[in-house]
Structure 1
C-alpha cells in the first residue's frame, strides 16, 4: 500500500505517527510503500538554536517555560508508549531544509524510511543539532549514503526543488497546516498522529475502497 507522508524531523508527533502506522501495518500484514515529503515547521529557523527548546517554544506560543516543559513531558510519555525515548530537555532544534534534501537523496536510493528514522532519533533521542552539517553527515553515513554524494548535495542546490515542491503541494493543494499528514493510496487523507485504531480503520478502508480520484479525500474515522 502506498502511503505519502508529509512531516518534519523536529516534530515529535511525526515520529509518534510513523511508529503507530508501522506497528498497525505490521499487525495487519500490510506492506507499506512509503513516500516521504518535506514540510518545514519553521522555514526561517537558524541552523541551530541559541536557547533551549523550552524557552524557544514558550516565546513562540506565548506560554510560560513551565507550561511548555509540562507539555513536552506529556509528549515524551506518549512517545515512550511507541518505543521512542524523547529527551526533550536536550533536543536541539534548527533549520531542517538540508536534512530534508538528504532524505530525498536517500529516498532516491530506497533508503527514505531509514533516513527519516535516523534523523528523528538524532534529534529526539540523541539531542543532536539536526540543522548542522556535522549531524547531517553523521546521519547520512549511518544509513550508508555515499559521503561524496552527500557533500555534493550539501555544497549545491540538488533536491532543493523537491523540498519546495513538497511544501507547495502541501499548502496549496492539500491545505496542510500541520504535520504529520498521511495520504493512503493517493486518495484517503489523515491528519495527525492518530491512535492506532484510527490508522487501522483507514488502512482497512483503503484496502476495501475502489480506485478513486487523484485528489485525496479527507478521512477521519469516528
Structure 2
C-alpha cells in the first residue's frame, strides 16, 4: 500500500502531522508493507524567492493581529508540536518561498534520501537557528542527508532542475481536491486531511488495507495550512 503525503516545509501542522502519522503507522500491523512518498505543495508559491520575513511579523500582518497575538498563535502550535516530542521555536524563525526546498527534496527522492532530508529541513525550520531559505543552509542540509554536495549545488543553481516534478505534484494535489496541507492519500483511493491524531491514521490505514470505505479525500476536520494560512485559535 502506498501513502502519499502532500506538505510544505513552512507548514507547522505538516511538521506535527508527520510525527503523528509515523506514530499511527508504527501501530499498524502491516506497516512494513506501506510505502510512504512525500509530495510537494507550496503554501506561498507567488512569494519572491529572496523575500523572507520573520514568522511573527508575517502572522501579524496576515491576520491583522498584534505581535503579542501572533506569539499566542505560535505558542498554540508549539504546544502541539512539543506534545509529539518535537522541538519548536516560537520566535526567530523566517518565512519565505519554498520552491528550492521542494526541488531539493525531489533530488533526495531520486537518490533515496528524501525522508532524511525532510526530517532535517523540518528540524532546521522549526526547532533550530537555521534558515531553510538560505542556499548555504540547504547545501549543508543536503550533505547531512547523504547527498553529494556538488550535485546539491548544481540543482540549486539551476532553477529548472526538478521544477517539473514540483509542479506535477501540485497539479495532482489540485486534481485530488487538496486545498490545504498536510494531505494524506492512501492508494489513490482514500484521503485524510490535516494533522489528525495518531489513532486516526492507524484506523485509516487499517480501513484502507481491508478495502473498507473511508470518507473520500477528506475526513474529520483537523488543523491544517492552506492558501489563507494555518488554522489556529484566535486567541
TM norm structure 2: 0.86
Measured against aligned partners, the alpha-carbon deviations of 1:71-114 in whole angstroms (never above 9, x if no partner) come to: 11011010011111111212122211011001000011211111
Correspondence for 1:80: 82
Mapped partners of 1:92, 1:206: distance in 2: 38
Pairing of 1:63-74 with structure 2 (within 5 A): 63-74=65-76
Correspondence for 1:8: 8
Judge which range, 77-86 or 20-29, deviates more.
Answer: 20-29
Measured against aligned partners, the alpha-carbon deviations of 1:112-166 in whole angstroms (never above 9, x if no partner) come to: 1111111100100113221110111011010110111112211211100111111
Whether 1:153 aligns to 2:181 is: no
Whether 1:199 aligns to 2:201 is: yes
Pairing of 1:73-222 with structure 2 (within 5 A): 73-156=75-158, 157-171=160-174, 173-209=175-211, 217-220=216-219
Mapped partners of 1:50, 1:195: distance in 2: 32
Mapped partners of 1:103, 1:195: distance in 2: 26
Mapped partners of 1:133, 1:41: distance in 2: 19
RMSD: 2.1
Mapped partners of 1:50, 1:100: distance in 2: 17
Unpaired runs of 5+ residues, structure 1, are none
Length, aligned pairs only: 218
Decide whether the 8 Å contact of 1:13 with 1:193 is kept in 2.
Answer: yes
> Taking structure 1 as reference, are residues 65 and 97 closer, same or farther at Cα in structure 2, changes over 3 Å only?
same
Decide whether the 8 Å contact of 2:89 with 2:128 is kept in 1.
Answer: yes
Decide whether the 8 Å contact of 1:48 with 1:132 is kept in 2.
Answer: no
Mapped partners of 2:52, 2:3: distance in 1: 36
Decide whether the 8 Å contact of 1:93 with 1:123 is kept in 2.
Answer: no
Unpaired runs of 5+ residues, structure 2, are 222-235
Judge which range, 27-36 or 181-190, deviates more.
Answer: 27-36
